[in-house]
Structures are given as structure tokens and as C-alpha cells.
Structure 1
Amino acid sequence: MSSRGDKRAELLRKAVDHLAAHGIADLSLAPMAEKLGTSKRMLLYYFGSRDALIAEAIAASRPDVSGLFRDVGDAGGLERAAWELWEAITRGRQQRPIRILFQVLSLAPTQPNRYAALAADAVRVMVEPLVPVYRGLGFDELEARSRASLLISGLRGLCLDRIVTGDEERIEAAAGVLIRAATTTENRKP
């Protein structure tokens, strides 16, 4: 018999897969629960609310930016970590789940009461871990924050473009241009 934590983790994994495939805009817990092999009551028991489930699905499905960039100490390491992130969101384990983040980001402007804080937090937790990396490479605070934003938001935008257009060759080349520009230390201020 599985423990409460195991059942919750299993439901969260299934929910992430479901949300990545079917979206969150018209999400209703009862039909989702049925597809997951459980009940709305159990989803509410484990997650509390529809919005809490979505928040946990986003947290569980986003790339581990802190882990990818933790040991970066030079521009070469930063570039390698950026390519690892790109690989994760386009071909790796994050390829499908990143779609949940795209949905929340696109819904935030039109449904700010429901999604704005969630979207802002999702962006923050991906950008913030890079700021100390850039500071450690000699960039001042504003430049470190700007470059972290450029790298994360740029790769996220290119990933979305790739999903929408399917133009892998163009997007892969654009990712290379972006990563090289965002990881160079040649233009830092003394």
C-alpha cells in the first residue's frame, strides 16, 4: 500500500502530464480527475484547490535552473549550462512540461487575478539563480540581472517559437546566437 506522499507525488506527475497535453485555460478538476483515475475530492484533498494544483504542476515541471548553473565559475561553464538548459526544454525531460509554463505566462495578461502572481513567480525562480553567477563573472548588479533575464527569457521565447513553428534549424541557430551573446564576458563594465 502506498503512503499519502507517494499517492500525492503520483497524482502530481499525472497532473503535469495531463496539463502539458490538455492545457489549463479550461481546466475543470472533475473531468481531469476522471482521466487521472481519481476523483475531484481526492485532488482537492491532496492539493487544496485548482490554482494550488496548477502552481505545484508548474513548480514540478520547470527546469532546475539552480542545479544547472550551480557550479558555473567562468564564461565557458555558463555557456555549457545554458546549452544544457536549452537541451532540457527542447529535447529533454522538460520538453512537454514547459508547455504548462507557456500557458500560465500567456494567461497572465488577460486573467491577472488568477495567473499574474503565479507567472511572475515562475519567471523569478528561473532568473534569480543566474544573477549571482553573472555577478561572480564580474558584472554589476543591473548587468547581472539584465543578462540573466536575456538568457532565460530569450531561451524560453525561442522554445515557444520552436513549438509553434516547428522550424528547428532556424531556432537552433538563433539559440546559439543568443547563448553566445548572453554568456560572453568581453563587454562587462570594469
Structure 2
Amino acid sequence: MARPLDHAKRADLLAGVVEYIAEHGLGDLSLRPLAAELGTSSRMLIHYFKTKEELLVQALTTQRPDIPAIFADVTDAAALRERLGAFCSVNIAGEATTSVRVLLQVLGAACAPGSPYGEYANAAIATFIGTLTDALCRIDTTIDDPEAVATLLISGLRGIIQDRLITGDVERTDRAARLLIDQIIR
């Protein structure tokens, strides 16, 4: 008879996985050292999550912000510029840094053909682009291709966030994020 899942333990494991990957990286992720760090066994991780990839995807899902809620009430360009700026600042400082570091690693890994992270990465990007496209349509109905504009913003800001996490250059990357946002959202 299969052992029932302890949902509280499962939630604790998911939180620990994100911290572990942020500290040790995704490239050489192995279940044994991960399990030891989490105070469990690789067998129990498989019991809870079936595969290493599913464990990572579920851990990331618990960390993903509610993007539609962040931009749902945006009705003018000033509010959208403010939200995008705040989103960048929050997600590259403090507690959010851990999940952003892991997400950037997963997005990179998703580029490989047949990556087990492709579906998760595609859904994360599609959610952000769709949400931002909707906000752009609300604030300016004259934008020729709001989806392309949203893609430019998301891709540009993701690169700036990655730059800041790698270099630690807060002042330069803040200026770059503000410039990108101000140039695109008028």
C-alpha cells in the first residue's frame, strides 16, 4: 500500500528546493545531495514528486507571482510604468531574488531541445506576455502590435534582471530598466 502524502511536508520540501537551487545551481542538480540538504531521502522526493524535473516545476510554481493580479487594474501609461518598475525592483532584491535566480536557470535550461522544463517556461512567458498585452491594449488602443511590444518589454527586462543578478550593478541596471520602460510605455 502506498504511503499517503503529507501535504505540510510536501510544501516544506518545495520551499527548500528553490533555496537549494538558488544556492547550488540547476546544472548539476542531483537528488541525493538535494534530499540530504532537505533532511529527507531521494526515495521520499520521488514518492512526493515522481521525477526530479516535476519536483523543480512544482517548486517554481509555488514561487511564481500572480502576474495577472499585478497588472489587472492598470488603466493608464503612468500606472503601467510604475508597476513594471516596481516589479523589476521587487524581483531583483530581497526574498524574490531566490526564485528569480532559479527561474532564470530554468529558462536557460528550457532552451535545450527536449528540455523537461520547456512546458513550464513556455507557460510562464505566455502568462506574462498575455497579461502585459492586455494591459497595453487597455491603456492605448493605437499600438500596432501590443503582443510584440509586450515581448520586447518582457525580454528586455528579463535581460536587465539577469545582468543585475550577475554583476550586482544596481544603479546601472535600474537606469536601464527605467529607460526601457519609459521608451516603450509613453
* TM-score, with length taken from structure 1: 0.86
Q: Is 1:69 paired with 2:34?
A: no
Unaligned runs of 5+ in 2: none
Superposed displacement of residue 103, structure 1: 0.8
Superposed displacement of residue 117, structure 1: 2.9
SS at structure 2 position matched to 1:113 = coil
Q: What amino acid sits opposite 2:153 in the alignment?
A: L
Task: Name the structure 2 match of 1:162.
Answer: 164
Question: 1:1-190 to 2 correspondence within 5 Å?
Answer: 4-139=6-141, 143-184=145-186
Superposed displacement of residue 74, structure 1: 1.0
Identity across the alignment (%): 36
For 2:159 and 2:13, how far apart are their aligned partners in 1? 29
Moved more, 169-178 or 108-117: 108-117
Unaligned runs of 5+ in 1: 185-190
For 1:143 and 1:30, how far apart are their aligned partners in 2? 48
Deviation sequence 1:108-127 (CA, Å, 0-9, x none) = 23353333333222222222
For 1:93 and 1:127, how far apart are their aligned partners in 2? 24
Deviation sequence 1:37-86 (CA, Å, 0-9, x none) = 11112212222211111111222233332221111111111112112211
Structure 1 residue runs of 4+, over 4 Å off?
A: none
Equivalenced residues, count: 182
Superposed displacement of residue 141, structure 1: 8.0
Deviation sequence 1:151-173 (CA, Å, 0-9, x none) = 22211110101112222221111
For 1:92 and 1:71, how far apart are their aligned partners in 2? 25
Q: What amino acid sits opposite 2:34 in the alignment?
A: M
Moved more, 120-129 or 98-107: 120-129
For 2:149 and 2:158, how far apart are their aligned partners in 1? 14
Alignment RMSD, CA only? 2.0
Q: Alpha carbons of 1:59 and 1:140: their partners in 2 closer, same or farther (altered >3 Å)?
A: farther
Q: Alpha carbons of 1:100 and 1:163: their partners in 2 closer, same or farther (altered >3 Å)?
A: same
Contact 2:22–2:101 (8 Å) recurs in 1: yes
Task: Name the structure 2 match of 1:188.
Answer: none
